[in-house]
Amino acid sequence: MPSEFSPRWSELLASAVSRPGLLLEAYRRFHGYSLGNQFAALVQCHLRDLPPGPIATLQKWNALGRSVRKGERALVLCMPVTVRVKDDPSSPAPPGPLRMKTVFAWKPRWFVLAQTDGPTLPAAIPLPSWDEGRALETLAVRRIPFAHPDGNVQGYANARTVAVSPLAELPAKTLFHELGHVLLGHTTDPGADQPDLPKSLVEAEAEAVALLCLEALQLPGAEYARGYIQSWYGSGQPLPEGSAARIFKAADTILRAGRAEVSAVPAPERQAA
């Protein structure tokens, strides 16, 4: 892991793939945040020797009666930012109405509990459970009977359907892999403006989604997922930045879709970026 935090999805994914157990710790500590931000927060805590704990903005800590100690550096997380769309100066048409768009940017606005002083906070809520049926319904993905004649095939996906072989050695890993294909858009026509990805990258992306989900939920198969990624994409070679960002988003979507609703969430955990 680098000595300084680098806010790049490809580097975060490389750390998640190469360091077993790290993503599970991140998911347990920061499950109120997006999966990518969970991992980013934990990496920064480790780099700074900060005990992982609840994180919130300066304003939120103040509202809870706690103050951030002088000289503490904020954690960097990815958050949506609304920006103005500039008019094309070469266009002959007069400037149109003000247009805005949302982009995502890394911003240093969060502090961990260990960087603050003040009254004791309520106990953290238990980690929410994950349910396959709830996830499939939320994702609008249908699980269909396995009907492939090749007994070596573990599963497959088509459009918004997935199938897992009853003989699959690791059915959870196979399910997450096939859901990864669906959420990453591998099962639909990419369109003329999106080039086809090579099969090596397609399979590595889907298996990386499976790996993140398995690690977060502490399910078996993560070590096989690591070997699968390396066999398709090569050992020690990070996935492209765009792929890494999409992988984190797809895995986060799958995990959120299957989680039970939690009614009593401590205030710091609601600051999900």
pLDDT tens, position by position, 254-272? 999 998 764 433 333 333 3
| H-type alpha helices, the chain | 9-18, 22-30, 35-47, 58-63, 132-139, 171-183, 199-217, 222-233, 241-257
Q: What is the pTM of this model?
A: 0.83
Label residues 64-75 b or e (16+ Cβ within 10 Å = b): bebebeeeeebb
Indicate if 119 and 140 belong to the same structural domain: no
- Provide the number of structural domains found in the chain: 2
Indicate if 83 and 145 belong to the same structural domain: no
Indicate if 101 and 179 belong to the same structural domain: no
Indicate if 108 and 146 belong to the same structural domain: no
Indicate if 118 and 170 belong to the same structural domain: no
Indicate if 63 and 172 belong to the same structural domain: no
- Is 239 domain-assigned? yes
- Is 98 domain-assigned? yes
- Is 88 domain-assigned? yes
Cα(187)–Cα(210) distance, integer angstroms:
16
Indicate if 173 and 154 belong to the same structural domain: yes
Q: What are 35-85's pLDDT values in tens digits? A: 999 999 999 999 999 999 899 999 999 999 999 999 999 999 999 888 787
Indicate if 109 and 139 belong to the same structural domain: no
Domain that holds residue 91: 9-125+262-270
Q: What are 2-35's pLDDT values in tens digits? A: 446 768 899 899 888 888 888 899 998 888 899 9
- Is 61 domain-assigned? yes
Indicate if 106 and 162 belong to the same structural domain: no
> For residue 258, which amino acid is it?
G
Q: What are 185-213's pLDDT values in tens digits? A: 999 876 555 567 888 899 999 999 999 99
pLDDT at 171: 96
Indicate if 153 and 249 belong to the same structural domain: yes
Indicate if 58 and 144 belong to the same structural domain: no
- Is 3 domain-assigned? no
- Is 196 domain-assigned? yes
Indicate if 179 and 105 belong to the same structural domain: no
